[in-house]
Structure 1
Amino acid sequence: MPAANTDRASTDYFPRLAAERLDIALCRASTAVARAADARAGALGIGVGQHLVLKMLAEAGPCSQRVLSDELRIDRTVMVGICDGLEQAGHVRRERNVADRRAYAVTITDSGRRLLAQAEDAVPEFLDGTFQALSPTEREQLSGILGKLLRPRSETTSQ
């Protein structure tokens, strides 16, 4: 009895599964992009979460860790570690929130702005390499579709 061609079966299976199960395809694509982002960020000396926090602080101004966590969809316990690391490196500082003395506002420093600028300079090349299989139109479509998926449920059900 001839042996089954297990190599062919294994290389043909995932594309079929991904076509049948959009959730699995999206999870695997997300994992691949996250790994590539982590590798790029590591080479720059800044984690993806750190990059996101610095970017939000630069654009939105001082925020509490809770707001950063909620807006960036980063677990609150993870956010504490991100902010601790950024503070220890001198890229952010924590100050009493004048509106709520029980809370602290996280503020980006000049050092954080410089690190953010370096990280942002690397983004276009990273995106081009990561999404090279997609045309500019497909990238725009993907961005629109993902934007719909990431909106709060209340927004998507009212449309």
Structure 2
Amino acid sequence: MVPRTADRAQVAYFPRLAAERLDIALCRASAAVARAADARTDELGLGVGHHLVLKMLAEVGPCSQRVLSDELRIDRSVMVGLCDTLERAGRVRRERDAEDRRAYAVTLTDPGREALARAEGALPGFLDGTFQALAPEEREQLSFLLRKLLQIHP
């Protein structure tokens, strides 16, 4: 006798798995947020990594790619590509670092500021849509827990 194939509507396995395996739940949630961010990226023409680089440059000023990579926790080889793309688009420029002539400082340009302003303007709507299942206090709690998990102190 051949075993019956489980009917998808009857199994509901993932909710149990997510309850048992927090790592799996977090990975799936992260992937869902990344997909939503990618969809929004297509509309704005500015990827998440590009947005983060522009935001940091706007807030702290010119930085080396190494500092950007370390602070944003983006692999250095990926950071080179992000900065290359931003430079080709005229959103940043690389200049010799006045303090270390061997290094280059990545500097935000006016078109970069404009792109950042558009992305920042769209961010609240993106976050509200992406996290609509959570009440405001739950979003705060999630933020607290993620900071704790990542060992980031406010």
Q: Does 1:102 align with 2:140?
A: no
Aligned to 1:59: 59
Task: Name the SS for the 2:40 alignment partner.
Answer: helix
Q: Does 1:90 align with 2:75?
A: no
Task: Name the SS for the 2:105 alignment partner.
Answer: strand
Aligned to 1:135: 135
Gapped regions of structure 2 (runs ≥ 5): none
Q: For residue 83 of structure 1, report the CA deviation from its aligned partner.
A: 0.2
Task: Name the SS for the 2:93 alignment partner.
Answer: strand
Aligned to 1:77: 77
Q: For residue 6 of structure 1, report the CA deviation from its aligned partner.
A: 2.5
Task: Name the SS for the 2:99 alignment partner.
Answer: coil
Q: Does 1:37 align with 2:37?
A: yes
* Identity value in percent: 74
Q: Which amino acid aligns with 2:122?
A: A
Give distance in 2, aligned partners of 1:48 and 1:4.
Answer: 41
CA deviation profile, 1:124-143 (whole Å, cap 9, x unmatched): 00000000000000000000
TM-score (norm: length of structure 1): 0.91
TM-score (norm: length of structure 2): 0.94
Q: Which amino acid aligns with 2:4?
A: A
Aligned to 1:6: 7
Superposed CA RMSD in Å reads: 1.5
CA deviation profile, 1:38-90 (whole Å, cap 9, x unmatched): 11012101111000000000001100001111111111111101000100111
Q: Which amino acid aligns with 1:30?
A: S
Give distance in 1, aligned partners of 2:70 and 2:50.
Answer: 15
Give distance in 2, aligned partners of 1:31 and 1:57.
Answer: 26
Q: 1:9/1:70 Cα in 2 relative to 1: closer, same or farther (>3 Å)?
A: farther
Gapped regions of structure 1 (runs ≥ 5): none
Give distance in 1, aligned partners of 2:25 and 2:105.
Answer: 38
Q: Which amino acid aligns with 1:123?
A: L
